[in-house]
Amino acid sequence: MSFYNNGIFHHSSNLLSPWPEMMTPHKTKKIGLALGSGAARGLAHIGVLKVLEEEEIGIDVIAGTSIGAFIGALYAAGVSVAQMEEVALNVDWRRLARLIDPTFPSAGLIDGKKVSLFMSELLPVRTFEELQIPLAVIATDLETGEPLIIKKGQLLKALQAAVAFPGIFPPIRFGDRFLIDGGLCNPVPADVALDLGAEVVIGVCAIPAIRKPRTEAFLPEKKNERQPKRRFLDFFNSRNVENVVKDLWRQNNHEESEVAAMKIKLKAPGIFKVCAQSIAIMENEINALRLERNHLDILIRPDLNDITLLEFHRAAEAIQAGENATRLAIDKIKALARPIESSPFYDNV
């Protein structure tokens, strides 16, 4: 390689570059993806990955919680987005739910063996070391409540722990710990993506933002026909008494008809829904606090308000929501993913 120095051309076969800073303009920022929890809503992650691939946005590291850990593991293992979408759209989720092993309620309602088998059949690798993209999976220590970051060793066991939804699946024994869903402590693990070396972090939150106004409620007092007449009514004149009675009659009839209608329509939720919704309420509060604290360059939040946690059969809607939200953010993603610095040498070529 020849170069010019002090008026003399020199040649060196060992010198990598005569312009060491000017010849490396294509160094791009290391992009990390933080895929969050959300159960069925988390299928939106497939739509996010689909758009990133179409736009040729490379992912360097992935951190995942709950279903985000599973989809992140598939992608890091080399499973194509097209394959993931095909499985999500064509699996008979209702039939799969019927095949799940119910257990006597001790640590969880579902044994989870068939779910584990389902995951193992989709994963082409067995260890973190075999993955094509560095991955970290987040679980929660049941005893201490601390987050546990798993990024080496057995992949399937780590994923079982990451998706062990409390009350539904039993805790997973992991060495001398029992682990449950990582969404309880870190729903969108942006900080873990940074720890893996990411310079730009794209977070995907599949938990809808819920604006909960403070409300008051009451149940109307039941009528008691044996209750003695109130003496204070005697002090009212006949017209006022008649008006008061009419108002109370209309109000009570309206309230009683509403309560009766609610009794007919309302059905007590099943234990699956109670567990899932209870955890979802807690996760929503934790998620709001973590999103405020964690560093995120871009937050993708698909519109999933109408999809519940267990509606996996609505995969097409969730995936489309992920696509739509990512397309809205794609210009900002491209801007952040540009090379760290451009070279004046190359700019003038």
Alpha-carbon torsion angle 277, 308, 289, 64, nearest 10: 110
Contact status, residue 63 vs residue 192, Cβ threshold 8 Å: yes
CA quadruple 251, 256, 257, 261: dihedral sign: positive
Catalytic residues: 66, 181
Q: How many residues does the chain have?
A: 349
> In Å, what is the CA distance from 277 to each residue of 165, 273, 309, 342?
11, 6, 8, 50
Helix (H) or strand (E) holding 319: helix 315-336
Dist CA 139 CA 155 (whole Å): 13
Bridge partners (DSSP) of residue 61 are 32
Q: Which of 84, 73, 204 is nearest to 135 (CA)?
A: 73
Residue 136 near residue 151 (C-beta atoms within 8 A) = yes
- Dihedral sign (CA 194, 195, 198, 204): negative
Contacts of 181 (CB under 8 A, 6+ apart): 37, 65, 66, 139, 140, 162, 163, 164, 165, 166, 279
Write out the two tokens for 48.
């996010």
Task: Please give the radius of gyration of the chain, using alpha carbons only, rounded to the nearest integer.
Answer: 29
Check if the beta carbon of residue 204 is closer than 8 Å to that of residue 188: yes
